[in-house]
Amino acid sequence: MRKWCPLVAVGLGAFMLLVDVTIVNVALPAMSADLGTSFGGLQWVVDMYALTLAALLLGAGTVADRLGHRRVYVGGLGLFALASLGCALAPSTGLLITGRAVQGIGAAAMFATTLALLGTTYRGRDRALAFGVWGAVNGAAAAAGPILGGLLTEHLGWPWIFAVNVPVAVAAILLTLLTVGPGDRTGRQRLDPFGILTFTVAAGAATYGLIHSGEAGWAEPGSWLPLLVAALALAAFVVVERRTAEPMLDLALFRHRTFVGLVGAGAVLSLSAWAMFPYASIWMQDRLGLGPVATGLVLMPMSVVSFVVPLLMGRFGHAVPARWSVSVGLLLIGIGDLLQARVHADSGAGVLVPGLVCVGLGAGLALPPMSSALLGAVPRERAGMAGGALNSARQLGLALGVAVLGSVFAAADGPAGPAADVATALNTSYLLAGGLGLAGAVLAFGLVRAGGRPDPGDRAGAGHRPEPEPAATPVPARAARRSEKGSD
């Protein structure tokens, strides 16, 4: 059993960082009551974590390659634990949001290293089993988030959704240090600080502008200025990445149709499937009077379905091309959002359940083949970078989705106002999410090649810079002479 201890150590970290993406959703009304948090503040509590995670994920992978994956993973666990404790003790909304940002930094260090640690620890059939368990842990985290958050909030108080991370992180640190090897440090790729900075500024300014516009209105100059800053930072990011010898994100990857289709589909999937969770939770608790546990139970069918479907697909649907599974999955997510856009002033929470199940089915179909198809569609030396880009796009899609849908929700007089206006606000937001999901399905079907194969000519002559061959290790003269004598 000792050989599976590294898998447990990595699984604990992955479960914890992924649960914290959604566990706060059912606790938002309790946070608002205790801290006096505004609607925009609640959006930032959700968004800051996903935004920081998305912005730093690619850079964290580069740091891990230089310093060692175990070292960066353990450092990320320690930072995540300290930030979680800070969130639990936060006396104000501002400090809570700051703690969520630091959590995102630690989560980026963990997320960027988990698969690398498993890949260097296990071989052959053990590696396949470890990756399968890691995928199941991802699904279990999504399923556990709403109900775990509801239980902790209702019976112990919302600070415990963060405090519970501390002992889990300590256990994961000890287990990692005792059972996981230090691994190799490649040290081959330089850091790209200007790329990290410009991408972070672009993502943060865009999210801030969307949230601010939802509170203050689009007529305010302060709503447009951050979006202008975001556009300029994005342009600077493109310039930096084109001129950097070893960029954080090789822009040549965007010459691959399948890469563009899958990364775009990943961003749209997170937006359409999960960005409405916070507002559905606020509606159910503030308007319908449900407790956190009951709210978690309403949301849980989607998570359970999205956990079970990949297991069935792995057993029976492995021959289905990624183009079809991703496209059909996004189509079902869009339909599920449209099914949820049927809220009336006197509706109960049950009106959301059919749509939630449909969304879970779509997410379960689309998510598993995304990574494997993406890795098969880009040059091998860019596989890690491509995977990091997909994970970043998914988290950034969630962050921007919460901001965009929150802006629409607020502009339609939600969450305050008469019950009919709040229902209209919910329906408008769900309609937008559903429309984006349907557009994502068209995008994926049009760009992802059948079977996820790379475009002809992509692997050669497509502007890709090949990775340099590792330098040969010099052999001391004395050792060389001994070798020559031994071979005579």
pLDDT tens for each residue of 327-351: 999 999 999 999 999 998 888 999 9
Quote the pTM value: 0.80
What is the DSSP secondary-structure string of 447-459? HSPGGGPPPTTSS
Q: Is the pLDDT of residue 284 over 60?
A: yes
Q: For 447-486, what is each residue's pLDDT tens digit?
A: 888 654 444 434 333 333 333 333 333 334 444 444 444 4
Most confident of 261-275, 306-320, 397-411: 261-275
Q: Give the confidence band of 409 by pLDDT, cuts at 50, 70, 90.
A: confident
pLDDT digits (tens, 9 = 90+) for 184-200: 555 556 777 888 888 88
pLDDT at 83 exceeding the cut of 90 = yes
3-state secondary structure of 422: helix
Q: What is the mean pLDDT of the chain?
A: 81
In this model, does residue 112 exceed pLDDT 60? yes
Residue 182 has pLDDT above 90, yes or no: no
Least confident range from 175-189, 396-410, 456-470: namely: 456-470
Q: Does an H or E element contain 308, and which?
A: helix 292-316
CA distance 368 to 374: 11
pLDDT for 173 equals 94
Residue matched to tokens 């998305």 = 54
| Structure confidence at residue 184 (pLDDT) | 56
**400 has a pLDDT exceeding 90:** no
Please give the Cα distance from 81 to 102 (Å, whole number).
10
Q: Return the pLDDT at 462.
A: 35
Percent of the chain exceeding pLDDT 90 equals 26
Q: Is pLDDT of 82 > 90? A: yes
CB within 8 A of 54, min separation 6: which ones?
Answer: 203, 391, 392, 393, 394, 395, 396, 398, 399
Q: What is the pLDDT of residue 299?
A: 86
Q: Which two three-digit tokens encode residue 87?
A: 């969130």
Q: At what angle do helices 39-67 and 28-35 cross, to 10 degrees?
A: 110
Main-chain phi, psi angles of 412, to 5 degrees = -95, 25
Higher pLDDT pick, 58 / 394: 394
Is the pLDDT at 11 greater than 50? The verdict is yes
Confidence (pLDDT) at 434? 95
Neighbours of 98 (CB within 10 A): 16
Band of pLDDT at residue 317, cut at 50, 70 and 90: low
When pLDDT is cut at 50, 70 and 90, the band that residue 99 belongs to is very high
Alpha helix (H) ranges present in 68-113?
69-89, 93-111
- Helix count and strand count (H, E) for the chain: 19, 0
Mean pLDDT for the stretch of residues 280-291: 88
DSSP string, 120-180: HH--HHHHHHHHHHHHHHHHHHHHHHHHHHHHHHHHT-TTHHHHTHHHHHHHHHHHHHHHS
> 27: which 2 tokens?
């606790």
Q: What is the pLDDT confidence band of residue 289, given thresholds at 50, 70 and 90?
A: confident
CA distances to 25, 182, 213, 278, 428 from 29, in Å: 9, 43, 22, 10, 21
